[in-house]
Structure 1
Amino acid sequence: MSKQEFLGALYNGLSGLPKEDIENSVQFYSEMIDDRMDEGMTENEAVEDIGSVNEIIQQILSESSLPKLVKRTVSKKHDWKVWEIVLLAVGSPIWFPLLLTAIVIVLTVYIVIWSVVLSFYAADFSLAVSGIFTLVSTVAYAFTSNANIFAMLVLIGGAFVCAGLSILSFFGINQITKGMVFVSKKIWIWIKSLFIRKEEV
Structure 2
Amino acid sequence: MNKAEFLNELSFCLQHMNDSEKNKFIIYYDEMISDYVENGMTEEEAVDKIGSPKKIAEELLDDSGSVKISLPSTGIKGLNVLLTVLGFPLWGSLLLAFILMVFSLYIIIWCAPFATGALSIGFFTTSIIGIAGSPFVMIKSVSIGIMQLGIGIASVGISLLLGFATIDLSKKLIILTKNLNAKLAALFKKKVVIG
Q: What does residue 171 of structure 1 align with? A: 164
Q: Residue 103 of structure 1: CA displacement?
A: 0.7
Whole-Å separation in 1 of the counterparts to 2:59 and 2:128: 58
Whole-Å separation in 2 of the counterparts to 1:109 and 1:102: 11
Q: Does 1:159 align with 2:155?
A: no
Whole-Å separation in 2 of the counterparts to 1:79 and 1:188: 28
Whole-Å separation in 2 of the counterparts to 1:113 and 1:96: 26
Q: What does residue 122 of structure 2 align with? A: 126
Whole-Å separation in 2 of the counterparts to 1:198 and 1:97: 24
Unpaired runs of 5+ residues, structure 1, are: 1-43, 59-77
Q: What does residue 82 of structure 1 align with? A: 73
Query: How many pairs are equivalent?
Result: 137
The structure with the largest alpha-carbon Rg is 2
Q: Which moved more, 1:101-110 or 1:123-132?
A: 101-110
Which is strand-richer, 1 or 2?
A: 2
Q: Which moved more, 1:87-96 or 1:157-166?
A: 87-96
**Residue among 51, 58, 75 paired with 1:53:** 58
Which amino acid is 1:124 matched to?
Answer: S
Which amino acid is 2:100 matched to?
Answer: V
**Residue among 172, 189, 193 paired with 1:196:** 189
TM-score in terms of structure 2 length:
0.54
Q: What does residue 93 of structure 2 align with? A: 97
Unpaired runs of 5+ residues, structure 2, are: 1-47, 64-68
Q: Residue 113 of structure 1: CA displacement?
A: 3.3
Q: Residue 129 of structure 1: CA displacement?
A: 1.3
Which amino acid is 1:128 matched to?
Answer: F
Percent of matched pairs sharing the same residue: 19
Whole-Å separation in 2 of the counterparts to 1:168 and 1:55: 49
Q: Which moved more, 1:190-199 or 1:117-126?
A: 190-199
Whole-Å separation in 1 of the counterparts to 2:157 and 2:126: 11
Contact 2:117 2:163 in 1 (8 A): yes
Q: What does residue 113 of structure 1 align with? A: 109
Q: Residue 130 of structure 1: CA displacement?
A: 0.6
